[in-house]
Amino acid sequence: MVRTVLGDIAGDVLGHTQCHEHLFIEKGTSFDCNPALYMEDEDRTVDELRAYVHAGGKSVVDAQPPFCGRMAEKLVAASMRANVHIIAATGVHKRQFYPADAPILAMTREVLAEFFVSELREGMISEKGERFGACAGIVKIAFESDGSLDDRLTDAAIDAVLETGAPLMVHTEKNCGVLPLINRAVRRGVSAERVIICHMDRTSREMDVHRAVLETGAYLDYDSIHRYKYLSDDEELDIICKMLEFDYEKQLLLSLDTTNRRLRSYGGETGLDYILTVFFPMLRLRGVTEEQLFMMSTENPAAALAFR
């Protein structure tokens, strides 16, 4: 069972799924940090999603947590209009994306955990600050740019995962302690298969580190595809093919981590359909089989995003 903004669905109807994208970000502190982090036009996002559906896309994870620009009501509207399953995030992002008075920064671990659980079970907080019916489907935490991790936020997120069985998504940075974090979650009773590690294609070039993470059983979301400021498509293909050679095909996920510079409907160049229309053919040319593509794009997301 996967929890979308329109309700729970069986994993096998999820279809092609990109597990770390951004469909909307409200104008605010994120925009002040980086003007690419601002998309709040429902019609444009729906156009983008329709092109994604046309290419074969079925589901998307919107990785923006509450109080730093998530637009829960718009996610519901876009999901209905474009006929795409959308999984929303509760949890936290890096501190720099929050206004100084964001409620999340002052909550105790207990209150935070309760808040995350309520977003997963009762409904998310809307753009107007009110709770409404649509639930979040993942809990996100983020390493800070210096590689540190806030204990209070991390423990609260793990509490919520233990309480609900939701998946845990992790934003990584260069030189952050991914393995210690996975161990910490596992020690507390979270199975490593519940953990989705994001961005390692751009935060670590050491394939031994990727392998060590995969050896725990966690998922690796390679979500910097076509982000040339980090790495080229060829470099991305090298990483994916290397991990496939080592037989980790059951633990890899593929995404774009979109911004307004990357969504075509906002004037960007890449498009949410890039993986389906351009990157899959490149993977095929490298010898990746249809079965492996299906696994990384459809089977693995269904398993990674399921509540257990």
Interaction site with Zn ion (CB under 5 A):
63, 257
Minimum Å gap between C-beta 219 and Zn ion is 15
Minimum Å gap between C-beta 151 and Zn ion is 22
Minimum Å gap between C-beta 140 and Zn ion is 9
Minimum Å gap between C-beta 223 and Zn ion is 7
DSSP 41-101: -HHHHHHHHHHHHHHTEEEEEE-PPTTTT--HHHHHHHHHHHT-EEEEEEE---GGGS-TT
Minimum Å gap between C-beta 145 and Zn ion is 14
For Zn ion, which is the closer residue by CB, 14 or 63?
63
